Amino acid sequence: MSFFGLDCARKKERELERKLRANDREYNLSFKYATNAIKTSKYNFFTFLPLNLFEQFQRIANAYFLFLLLLQVIPQISSLSWFTTVVPLVLVLSVTAAKDATDDINRHRSDNQVNNRKVQVLIDGKLRSERWMDVQVGDIIKLENNQFVTADLLLLSSSEPLNLIYIETAELDGETNLKVRQALTVTGDLGDTIESLAAFNGEVRCEPPNNRLDRFTGTLTCAGQKYSLDNEKILLRGCTLRNTDWCFGLVLFGGPETKLMQNCGKSTFKRTSIDRLMNVLVLCIFGFLAFMCTILAIGNGIWELNDGSQFTVFLPRQEGTDAAFSAFLTFWSYVIILNTVVPISLYVSVEIIRLGNSFYIDWDRKMYHARSNTPAEARTTTLNEELGQIKYIFSDKTGTLTQNIMTFNKCSINGKSYGDVYDYTGQRLEITDHTETVDFSFNPLADPRFAFHDHALVEAVKLENPEVHAFFRLLALCHTVMPEEKNEGELFYQAQSPDEGALVTAARNFGFVFRSRTPDSVSIVEMGKQRSYELLAILDFNNVRKRMSVIVRSPEGKLSLYCKGADTIVYERLHQSCNKLMDVTTEHLNEFAGEGLRTLALAYKDLDEEYFSQWKQRHHEASTALDDREDRLDQLYEEIEKDLLLLGATAIEDKLQDGVPQTIEQLSKADIKIWVLTGDKQETAENIGYSCNMLREEMNEVFVVSGNTPEDVGRELRNALTTMKPDAAEDAVFQPERTLGKGVRAIRDEVVNGEYGLVINGHSLAYALERSMELDFLRTACMCKAVICCRVTPLQKAQVVELVKKYKQTVTLAIGDGANDVSMIKAAHIGVGISGQEGMQAVLSSDYSFAQFRFLQRLLLVHGRWSYLRMCKFLRYFFYKNFTFTFVHFWYAFFCGFSAQTVYDEWFITLYNLVYTALPVLGMSLFDQDVNDVWSFQHPELYVPGQLNLYFSKTAFFKCALHSGYSSLVLFFIPYAAMYDTVRDDGKDIADYQSFALLTQTCLLITVCIQLGLEMSYWTAVNTFFVLGSLAMYFAVTFTMYSNGMFLILPSSFPFIGTGRNSLNQPNVWLTILLTSILCVLPVVTYRFLLIQLRPTINDKVMFKVRRAKATPPPPPRRTRIRRTSSRRSGYAFSHAQGYGDLVTSGRYLRRPALSRSSGFAHAGRTTTGFSPMGRSAGYSPTGRPQNVKTEDVEVTSLQMYRTVRDPAF
């Protein structure tokens, strides 16, 4: 580590507490805190060349070729010219340097774009526009609506009442619902008065920089008073200010010390399993090279002692040269000659192949999402073949499997179910995009994007059914949604969770429009009449209560309590008279849950005025108590929330992305295990598991691990283990003699009878990931078909991935769409980002990105499998052709006195890998496919050989070396025997070394081209041109180089004058080429024929089917909606955090006075001009972004497919 790095580390260790003073740069600079500039680039103009070359020569192959170049400069040992190594080495270094430079220039641009954003900073009593990079700790800055938060700030004041602001934290935690932050009263009173803010000199003491997003501790000292600071007063870099005109904040952490940057972690250099295997093989090849050179050096020493003295008359030795020294020089000479066992062109070709296969992903129209104009993107070019070996997929839920758009689908009111559509015979119809929707034209304030299909519910509303009216009145009153109405009739709802927004939007469309609220009243429009309810109390939601209630007084003076919550919780508090209604509603709830919907029960009761006044007094005392406040309030809530009367239940769909169940089913058939890691609550995650076909009713058992102590968790895991496999060993069974490096042994897969699922909570997972229990957890989870981890933190997501990587000899993939998935994406072998509702942080950290989860099956089953197959074929063939080329030198050494003379012409050695055999093998590696994409989808089991490393492994490499050994023997001895003591047919010339060299290299080139033809499964015009073109190029170059003209220009460089025309016009030369080629190829053809007949692989079977089908394969089956019936129900997720109840009832207005408005029903017809509703159909999106509207399924042309959709509905 550099001196500066050590200094930085020491500084970080020293900082145990952060101290800063507002508006005092001189004081804050004394602590040397980081500025707000960020730097993700690696090089600058001056350091690029030395640093990049230093990195490149750390690769063992590059260093090896540099060493060879140095050897070739020594004339005593070099029998090859220096250009045979310099040309390829410079080419490789230049290509890699250009790629690294391009990547770093992009990083520089990104850094500059962020660092040069403008923000208003208070300096010397004036607001000045400054660049982000110039902002310092202790500065006060002003943010405006929809601006990104510049650094980690302490909120001082805001434009909103109560010093509130609204922020979107999608870049940080993946949640799209808006969150509220509130400033201290003492700083809130500063307002936007520049003089007051400039005079503010408060001192902050807080925790040092860390990556904890969910907590903050510190104090603010101002005017001699000390105030406590927590997370609710902090704005983190990466958030976006929403629905707030302005706010002021004090910078606490800048640039690399912000929590966002601390959470990004360091990007690790990802390498494929083939890369790691290649490193091992290259080391083995080096060892084998040294072994061959040692044998030949010993041979040279023996030859020099026995026969060498007889040649001194013709070849006088230099002074001081003896047999031992000659053997030493011969060793290094053969190191140079035999270096082609690891040609540098191998690495160039691998990079080109990976780049080409990456372009296929970028260009794939079937992975292009027209609605959002998002193509698939291969952000990393070095991992393509790893996509064909995935065994475990770790997926986020919200926004990845689901759209994070909630839709009001069905409901049950007073024992009657609404939402289904029936035909005239009473048969239930499946709802599609073409099903007729309900006409809400009677309600001008309705959301035009809300879609509902059951006309009976609207009729019940119009007929003024009292239970139906009470049902929707409850939905319009019992919530903590904040309304916004900037223009007449344009309603926007800001909800704590998408579910809340969807329910209030449903009530709005059915004639109960939530219009505005103050801290003590709620105004709604009931069937065209404006009514204001006095809001007396909010009994807020939390994760323990799982319900919320409001107590209101109607305009007529009637007191009522309205309650909504998880059905199991509400049922416990119902009056006995509701038993029959409970039974009917339970049937409906079971039906809703069976369709994967999120359910919620609604109930109410009328209150006695005298009792309520007493209860209100006790509530006031409890809420102001200093001790046991929470417990006392809970007791009061329990007391009043009883003997409720059931109204009904709602069913909300968290819409799955298109094609998710089918994708998961396909991936399961490919023997890929999918684990869902989500921050959502257990009921919701489990419910989505069923609706997307991960968990199924047919499973033998779904284990739920929710213990609160290590002992409970350990017992639950062991019970699950013994249930699945009663005879399971006490300890994990490790792989024999196979390690994953660093002394960690791989755990063997255990087979169980039946299918099982596992659901584990975040707090239980924390214990399960401890060292003493991690193996039990891993064994149990790996035996299950599906695993769902809920309520997990971003760090736990990464820990789960790391655990599987550590103990399983498999390739992992993580897929997510939010910043909370970044650590998981970086930890996995392959990271995939979905560009969706939750910002771009996941995409920026990913290796591959696209718009929809369903594209994952194409990425893996088509592109991944083809990339892996092509790379394996390439490596097998490349090693074959180079080993064969090199081994001929080895056999020739025994016939040339071990003199390090080459078999081939120097120009052939130089051009063999660069020109003659480069394009054919690249053609195969870029265009070959065993079966097309349609057959790949129809037979997902084709993917399995990649997981088992069947196409390229140490065994395959050893077979390849044996095959090369055989071919080299044939290629040397057949031409040698054919040329030995041979003369031309006209008797003019005797065969010599040069004619033998030409014959051998011609046989070699034709043989490797035939071998390539046998490897290729899919011939294209390009492949054919490359193969025939390379042979034509060889003969053209050979005749040119061996011509008289070239010899006359440079006699020393072109000694083979006339060899081409003299040798290649002899019939026996062509017969020798034919015989050699047949003998080389015959064993391969025989072996493959027998293998296909006796032990066909899955590829052989499918390719046989393809040949038999001949015609175009049948189209894939139409997607059908999978309907289930189930006895399980999902709980309703209000939010991950406590609600806004306290803020709503805090005694001051939350918004500036709303516009004066009429009820809206006085207008004739439906006035929706300029209307910008929230939500997609019944859906509700918390960010206010326009949602996707489903378009009709029309056939699109290639031009339309890439056209940006400009329809205003999008």
What are the residue numbers of the active site? 396
The residue with tokens 């175009």 is 1112
SS3 content of the chain, % helix, strand, coil (to 5): 45, 20, 35
Give CA–CA dist 730/713, Å, rounded: 16
Q: 3-class DSSP state for residue 238?
A: coil
Within 8 A by CB and 6+ apart from 13, the residues are none
Give CA–CA dist 564/643, Å, rounded: 14
What residues does 811 pair with on adjacent strands?
Answer: 390
DSSP string, 306-366: HTGGGGTTTSPPPTT--HHHHHHHHHHHHHHHGGGGS-THHHHHHHHHHHHHHHHHHH-GG
Name the DSSP letter for residue 1121. P
Q: Which helix (H) or strand (E) holds 83?
A: helix 83-115
Look up residue 290 and give its two tokens.
């040294």
What residues does 222 pair with on adjacent strands?
Answer: 225
User: Do the beta carbons of residue 217 and residue 238 sit within 8 Å?
Assistant: no
Residue 21 CB-half CA count within 13 A: 11
Its sign, for the CA torsion 707, 711, 716, 721, is positive
Of 972, 962, 965, 1038, nearest in space to 1003 by CA:
972
Q: 3-class DSSP state for residue 806?
A: helix
Alpha carbon distances (Å) from 1159 to 417, 468, 1154? 30, 21, 13
Within 8 A by CB and 6+ apart from 154, the residues are 187, 204, 220, 229, 233, 234, 235, 249, 250, 252
User: Do the beta carbons of residue 777 and residue 717 sit within 8 Å?
Assistant: yes
Of 802, 809, 879, nearest in space to 394 by CA:
802
Of 390, 341, 384, nearest in space to 871 by CA:
384
Give CA–CA dist 910/900, Å, rounded: 17
Alpha carbon distances (Å) from 417 to 37, 421, 609, 932? 58, 11, 34, 48
The residue with tokens 């494929």 is 272
Give CA–CA dist 152/251, Å, rounded: 6
Of 774, 834, 831, nearest in space to 806 by CA:
774
What b/e string do you get for 1130-1147 counting C-beta neighbours within 10 Å, with b at 16 or more? bbbbbbebebbbebbbee
Give CA–CA dist 687/655, Å, rounded: 12
Amino acid identity, position 622: A
Alpha carbon distances (Å) from 509 to 334, 438, 506, 1178? 85, 10, 5, 9
Q: Centre a 10 Å sphere on the Cβ of residue 137 and count the other Cβ atoms it contains.
A: 25
Give CA–CA dist 879/953, Å, rounded: 13
Amino acid identity, position 1016: M
User: Do the beta carbons of residue 170 and residue 838 sit within 8 Å?
Assistant: yes
Of 939, 402, 419, nearest in space to 692 by CA:
402
